[in-house]
Amino acid sequence: MKKLSIIAAIALIFGSSCMISGTKGSGHVITKEYNETGFKNIDISSSMKVYLTQGDNYAVKIDAEDNILDLIEVKKEGDKLILKFKNNVSVNPTKDIVIHITAPDFHELSASGAGGYVSTGIIKTNELALDLSGATKVKLDVEVNNISIDASGASKIILGGIANSFSVDGSGSTKVDAYELKTQQTHIDISGSGNANVYAEKELNVEISGAGNVSYKGSPNISQDISGAGKITAVK
């Protein structure tokens, strides 16, 4: 009996901790603007959906439930804008956390958990890097010299536009849909069960370990290193 009481007490303590750390959204959405400038890299936490606009000035605006907004920390470290939940608190929003960010240039976009990025127009820059983990979702239109993706987990990326070179390092069940991104040179390295759809005009280098698949458009010269059940498929 004493043992059962101890177990019940432990369960109560952990249950209480979970209830304290998890904040459910109030349903009342408000907007807050932030005066952050001088950044070109962005790092976001789970549950945040960011709309990116390239413009002459800087602007950061968040639409979120009032009690959730109070828990979001916005700060700048060097040229990186960081948006995360204070003290790693867990939240349960009932409305989307929507963030609008405008900046003259974007260089590196990082996201973890269920966060993601959407471009409102074409992002024009020399180099753009995506660092993604978890169930992140990204949809971007770009005109860049180089674009690279480092993704793990169940990330889903949709890309369109033009790039000279394009590289993907994907693990887990990462999915990349980039038929609409016309590139000259593309390098794909997939491990796990990920899939990549790409458009390469001159060169396509593919490395697959596991059950990953790469489908491509264009007429590139192909080099490949495949182990496992992975395959490369041409699409007209």
* CATH 2.160.20.120 domain position(s) in the chain: 27-106, 123-236
**What is the arithmetic mean of pLDDT over 198-203?**
98
The predicted structure's pLDDT at residue 195: 97
* 107-156 tens-digit pLDDT: 999 999 899 999 999 999 999 999 999 999 999 999 999 999 999 999 99
The matching CATH number, chosen from 2.160.20.120, 2.30.30.240, 1.10.10.10, 2.40.110.20, for 27-106 is 2.160.20.120
* 175-191 tens-digit pLDDT: 999 999 999 999 999 99
The predicted structure's pLDDT at residue 236: 87
Please give the CATH number for the structural domain made up of 123-236: 2.160.20.120
- pLDDT above 60: residue 11: no
**What is the arithmetic mean of pLDDT over 15-44?**
84
Beta strands in the chain (DSSP E): 22-24, 29-34, 41-44, 48-54, 59-65, 72-77, 80-85, 90-92, 97-103, 108-111, 116-132, 137-151, 156-172, 175-192, 195-210, 213-217, 221-228, 231-234
User: Given pLDDT bands bounded at 50, 70 and 90, which one contains residue 68?
Assistant: very high
User: Given pLDDT bands bounded at 50, 70 and 90, which one contains residue 20?
Assistant: very low
**pTM flag (> 0.75):** yes
